[in-house]
Amino acid sequence: MQTHEIRRRFLDHFVRAGHTEVPSASLILADPNLLFVNAGMVPFVPYFLGQQTPPFATATSVQKCVRTLDIENVGITTRHNTFFQMAGNFSFGNYFKKGAIELAWSLLTSSVEDGGYGFDPERLWVTVYLDDDEARQMWLDMGVPAERIQRRGMADNYWSMGIPGPCGPCSEIYFDRGPEYGAEGGPEADEDRYLEIWNLVFMQNERGEGRGKDNFEILGPLPKQNIDTGMGVERVAFLLQGVDNVYETDLLRPIITKAEELTGKSYGIEHADDVRFRVIADHARSAAMLIADGVNPGNDGRGYVLRRLLRRIVRSARLLGADQPVMAAFMKVVSELMSPSYPELGTDFTRIETVAVGEETAFLKTLATGTKLFDDAVAEVKTAGGARIGGAEAFTLHDTYGFPIDLTLEMAAEAGLQVDEDGFRSLMAEQRRRAKEDAQARKHAHADLTIYKEFVDRGPTEFTGFDELTSEATVLALIADGVRVPVAQAGTQVEVILDRSPLYAEAGGQIADRGTITADGLKVRVDDVQKIAKSLWVHKTTVEQGQLTEGDVVVAQADPAWRRGATQGHSGTHMVHAALRQVLGPNAVQAGSLNKPGYLRFDFNWQGALSEQQKADIEALSNDAVGADYPVNTFVTDLPKAKAMGAMALFGENYGDEVRVVEIGGPFSMELCGGTHVQHSSQIGPITLLGESSVGSGVRRVEAFVGLDSYRYLAKERALLAGVASSLKVPSDEVPGRVEQLVERLKVAEKELERTKVAAVLAQGAKFVDDAERIGSVLLVAAAAPEGVGAGDLRTLATDVKGRFGSEPAIVVLLGNADGKVPFVVTVNKAAQDLGIKAGDLVASFGPSIAGRGGGKPEMAQGSGSDPSGIAAGLTAVRARVVELAG
């Protein structure tokens, strides 16, 4: 049975049982505890917590999930996946244990002809929580014999989110794969043979603080008894497809086949190669799903996870023998495999491929840099007569430069060296420990939004701001410091909930309106408007005059000037987006935006900086659209129709069944957007591009002023140009040429000054040579350089002095004093190195005196200290050390 069919049968089974089918949420949700959705129940958390009333009593979904805690184990075992699909059925106070057990058992054991999966009930085992006699009896009633029901403790059969919130005992269903896969005795004996395929959580209690799976207090029962189940689609797939593990199923094995084609290696021959094949298959699918939901490679958070996945693919392919780029081929296979269930992988393939290939290109450059650093490390080890690269060096290559440890091991073996793997693993373990502690420290209970529940349940706030700036409204509630209050006096900061409002709540990159709430003798300043549950407007206000009371009829008004500027900024953003796509092509798609009165910034997916000509073209096209006075039309339609019309959507954003489309100039710009806009493009006013920059790998940002802010900026620039022209005594149009001439003259002068400076520094060399001290057979120069000599000149001087000693053993130690820092250079010629003297060893002798540190190779070491008062003591210390070594 193919995986797409397994998904369909699951959903159909529960829809027939009266459940509402809910589409998978994005992998990215606004949850401070989660980088990604990691369980099927995550999108339903507000319902389980009682913060929102669910729109259905029962639901079913197949939720896409990503878990990355075990990323290093992917491929090593066949049980770990980063991306997986969790099929679930949910009850919000409707049915409980009996219903969950009956529905699960019937789907698993019903025949394929009857719409089930056709599992042999004789091969199914179940577990229950230690004291859950009720669930045990229900399984007995279903015909499961007592010997195939096992009781397990809290760590195995009691579920919670890991933070205060809903929890409860669970019952798990296992499939016996047979004696060839492990020992007899059920899940308690062997969880490789007895594979968990479904977990039924009886969510009935609330947990308190604590850590781990079994170290927390159970505070008491929830208001309602809920059901949360999760069936692993991939696990069921490999069982029903008769293969040994998920990597051999219909949605992963073709990726391995493509990797075999690209590398020339075969799967199933060597374990080390199999691990790499599985890494490629798992990570390629995970990466494509993350990019589809709007994640871009970066150096922290979600972006860092994606970057790791993509780079592990490249690394694994390289170790398997690939010598050409591979990412485009893998992304194509993933798209073809997964599109039947996730159509966005096909419709958005060009962008997904561009992001993945861009990261591959960047990483291949990183590998080239890492190879050079590795070669330097090998040379240093061999020069010192060693046979092993240190764990610290291997860790630095991995952590700082992204150079994989297995490449380090392979290349070290080729060079006839070993690697201190224990040292490397120890440093990696320490890094992981810190990361886990940091992640745990960031976890906290979900924000308590229960106080808003009554108003969320009554329906969305009526937003009147598309048609008017002033609306009469009724005060539904006042909330101060998280507590509902009946009255707010002058000077009080209070959240105000109205039944209707013309003030725009922050969303879609547009910041909230500013405005007022007034009545007779009352004036309230509105500083911000935020949404709760995407539907309830919460006005953050300060009462400036009078007394605001719950139930008051008031007048809410958006600041006209603020709104005018905000609409210019938002419509201007659409102009710039459309112009970008005309200049750069369809791959330049939105990755985020911010617009406010008079200003916009727009992030988009793109590799490399824009040229001056491209920026000029984008600005010109945007302003051409402004000058064309295009009409701005808005209308509401369903999502499929909007996409069919070509409306652009923000990647990673969840849209409802009905969407609002903003159309400017017909085909020029058409986007899904809930923001406020001008009525004609000419009302945007001039658009002035301020600049373009990088905000992460594969993501660029343009910023611009619009309207009067654009005019003021241009006026300021004009005045600046006029001032420069006056100073240079040339017309304005000749300023660029004259400035270029001045810059060239300045460069020539700087070069001449540098030559003079170097000559003056080198002139000190003869004196240092004359003052050299002979210690044994070694000549030592240990001196303070002239004040103000920086690190670069210090190195030049030290190298010059060393060269003047010819073939005699010589050591040069120079300490500078520049801007409160103590740069230093130690050079040791070949004759002195032959006596066992190394530059790095000498640094350790004087470093503490100047609060400094540094390093390098045996012939040269350099660094810096922060205590100039210790220079004299440092020189004394290094002389004493040379006496020990050569005296």
Binding residues for Zn(2+), by number, are: 570, 574, 673, 677
Which long-range contacts (C-beta less than 8 Å, at least 24 apart) are formed by 803-808?
Answer: 804/765, 804/766, 804/769, 805/769, 805/772, 805/779, 805/829, 807/831, 808/779
Q: Assess contact for 602 and 570: CB atoms under 8 A.
A: no
Q: Assess contact for 569 and 595: CB atoms under 8 A.
A: yes
Number of CB atoms found within 10 A of residue 723's CB = 10
Number of CB atoms found within 10 A of residue 508's CB = 16
487-501 as b/e, with b when 16 or more CB fall inside 10 Å?
A: ebeeebebbbbbbbb
Cα–Cα dist 261/872, whole Å:
66
2, 132, 311, 635 from 156: Cα distances, Å: 30, 13, 34, 52
Q: Assess contact for 282 and 273: CB atoms under 8 A.
A: no
460: region left, alpha or beta (phi > 0 left; psi from -120 to 50 alpha) = beta
CA-wise closest residue to 21 among 54, 55, 59: 59
- Rounded to 10 degrees, the C-alpha dihedral 678/679/680/681 comes to 20
CA-wise closest residue to 868 among 765, 789, 795, 763: 789
CA-wise closest residue to 313 among 261, 370, 256, 369: 256
DSSP helix/strand/coil, 463: strand
CA-wise closest residue to 403 among 378, 372, 357, 425: 372
- Rounded to 10 degrees, the C-alpha dihedral 239/245/251/256 comes to -150
| Alpha helices (runs of H) in 503-591, residue ranges in sequence order | 560-584
Cα–Cα dist 352/494, whole Å:
45
Known binding-site residues equal 570, 574, 673, 677
Strand partners, 815: 784, 824
DSSP helix/strand/coil, 408: helix
198-229 as b/e, with b when 16 or more CB fall inside 10 Å?
A: bbbbbbbbbbeeeeeeeebebeeebebbbbbb
Cα–Cα dist 461/534, whole Å:
10
When computed from its CA atoms, the radius of gyration of the chain, rounded to whole angstroms, is 34
Is residue 486 packed enough to be buried (19+ CB in 10 Å), middle (13-18) or exposed (0-12)?
A: exposed
Which long-range contacts (C-beta less than 8 Å, at least 24 apart) are formed by 845-850?
Answer: 845/877, 845/878, 845/880, 845/881, 846/813, 846/815, 846/873, 846/874, 846/875, 846/877, 846/878, 846/881, 847/874, 849/873, 849/874, 849/877, 850/815, 850/822, 850/824, 850/874
| Alpha helices (runs of H) in 95-148, residue ranges in sequence order | 97-109, 133-141
Q: Assess contact for 7 and 341: CB atoms under 8 A.
A: yes
Q: How far apart are the first and last CA of the chain?
A: 82
Give the tokens for residue 560: 């006209």
CA 479, 481, 487, 492 torsion: positive or negative?
Answer: negative
Number of CB atoms found within 10 A of residue 471's CB = 21
Q: Which residues contact 841 (CB under 8 A, 6 or more apart)?
A: 881, 885
DSSP 441-455: HH--PPP--GGGHHH
Cα–Cα dist 334/341, whole Å:
12
